[in-house]
Chain A
């Protein structure tokens, strides 16, 4: 996009001209200085996704170990791995139940977190059921809750007065 430069002025005429300059659409007018600095180590990189396969050793809805939320410990061929799933309610909402001893396949990646690292799940599969927990960029998908449900939400699903 062609950068434009805005100049602060009290002139209504110039302001109008500036407006004309921008009405064609949202044009980028300042490059982010931070794009030139190294990102923080916690960044989720879609190119670093890996797949964990194993059996469920333990599922915890509200783990006392950060990150706060649901965790599953998976016994893999290289040992147990603790995986952060996100919000337990989101798994329930999608009727996704983890069974100890069951096989599970998790797509995600290790990211730097606090003073160490943690494995963030993006997609979890058990049997024929798969659930996306995060976007390809790692953004949590449980935030919008039922609001994100395709086809909308019936008013009857809402509890109490508005």
Chain B
């Protein structure tokens, strides 16, 4: 991107957890991959979503892509349809061909062909039901996720629940500038295309709407033209959107032609049918958000503990604001915080913490359950969103964190950078990481495939807080990526880059 939108890919990943001249570069081959995946692991119909940067004119431009493909378990893509929102407009494109290849470690490649040509991707499966995806064309990079679809849910009556949602991308501000926007909220889908109790908060380049009820005209409907795709259209929070159903608990959204040139991408996930209050949050949480500020792209990860009574404690965070690093607690500082949950019991709320030296950090959230929420920063000039998830009550140790992980990172250095790969973490004290990855550096116009790396995961004194993960690519010239790592549990870890030369964030998801 050289922009602020890697958060979109982060968002997709979080939902997944919750539920020199252009060209390509091939290093010496990495060691043979280890694992139990194969082409047969990718079989059936999958919904995908991603966002990133495309070359348009002579600059980079934000774009989004959602859709569905069907894999035959034998390396062929047999069908699908996708929606793209690019700089010249929006299109709905039928997939006419495609292929894929999956290695034993879950890493692989995918190509999708439509009437305009073929687009290429690198993927990593975390399970046979889901994975991460990066577009690896020389003129486009993007990051996102895909999940197996439940075709039985392709009925309007199956979309009948409360949902929380998080959309982000570019939209018009009050001065008619296209700037970054994040919208989070919740709604009740009535099973017949109607939407009730819609609430949302928008953050448009740091200008906050406050919590609003949906304007009139909210709806959702399936598209009869593509009955086997789970495709539909909707109006949510005043935005016109296209969506694809993953299952009755998850939908993927992209701004439709009606709102062009605005472009928002995001997911909605089912909300637990309960009456939320202050006691709904009681225990430790880890979070990851990404977006932008006046300085440029920003990402923050961390953890906090809620007490069921409105108090936040044990707050530890790492913010990377376009290379400017702010860890909390600050050196010699202390952090105190509080939270509220809305009196209407729909799961909205606020969180605020103040570092005695770095100032106040403010957020809003919508709870999907007492263990999961969409999360948006609301400080002046910051537009950043993602999720928080309940941290494990079990021990986080070198032993419990050892294993194989699929990962995706998205960020910005000289342009948007998107990475997808697999790493093995062992129980040794140092040099305990090895793996391989593909990545697309838009600023350089270069794609890198099968890049091996080594590294280390070093646990902090309290592993529920800040840990350190470092990865160094082994081909020369070596590049080292340093992260602060916040474990959600033994299966999922949030990562935020703490290098001053780039902003990068992502997550590790354990493979079976």
Contact = CB atoms under 8 A, between A and B. Distances in A.
Interface range, A side: 35 or more
The interface centre, meaning the residue of B118, B206, B294, B326 with most chain A CB atoms within 10 A of its CB, is: B294
Contact of A135 (B1, B175, B208): B175
B346 A143 contact: no
A92 to B, nearest CB: 6
Nearest to A26: B212
A158 B179 contact: no
B259 interface: no
Contacts, number: 301
Interface string A1-32: 00011111010100110110111111111111
A8 B344 contact: yes
A145 interface: yes
Interface string A120-147: 1000000000000011111111111111
B378 A158 contact: no
Nearest to A120: B294
Interface stretch (A33-41, A48-56, A99-107): A33-41
Contact of A137 (B207, B216, B321, B358): B207
Interface residues of B, number: 106
B213 interface: yes
A69 B196 contact: no
Per DSSP, are chain A's interface residues mostly helix, strand or loop, or mixed? loop
Contact of A69 (B2, B59, B211, B362): B2
Given A5-B344, A67-B295, A145-B60, A152 B88 contact: yes
Contacts of A152: 88-89, 261
Given A62-B414, A145-B56, A158-B88, A140 B296 contact: yes
B3 interface: yes
Q: Which 4 A-B pairs have the closest CB atoms?
A: A161-B117, A66-B323, A114-B324, A145-B61
Interface of B: 1-5, 53-62, 84, 86-89, 91, 93, 114, 116-119, 137-140, 170, 173, 175, 177-180, 188, 190, 196-199, 201, 205-216, 238, 261, 263, 273, 275-276, 292-297, 321-326, 340, 342-346, 348, 350, 352, 354, 358-364, 378-382, 412-415, 443, 500-503
Given A25-B215, A32-B201, A153-B56, 8 more contacts: A40-B358, A42-B382, A140-B3, A144-B170, A146-B61, A158-B55, A159-B54, A160-B137
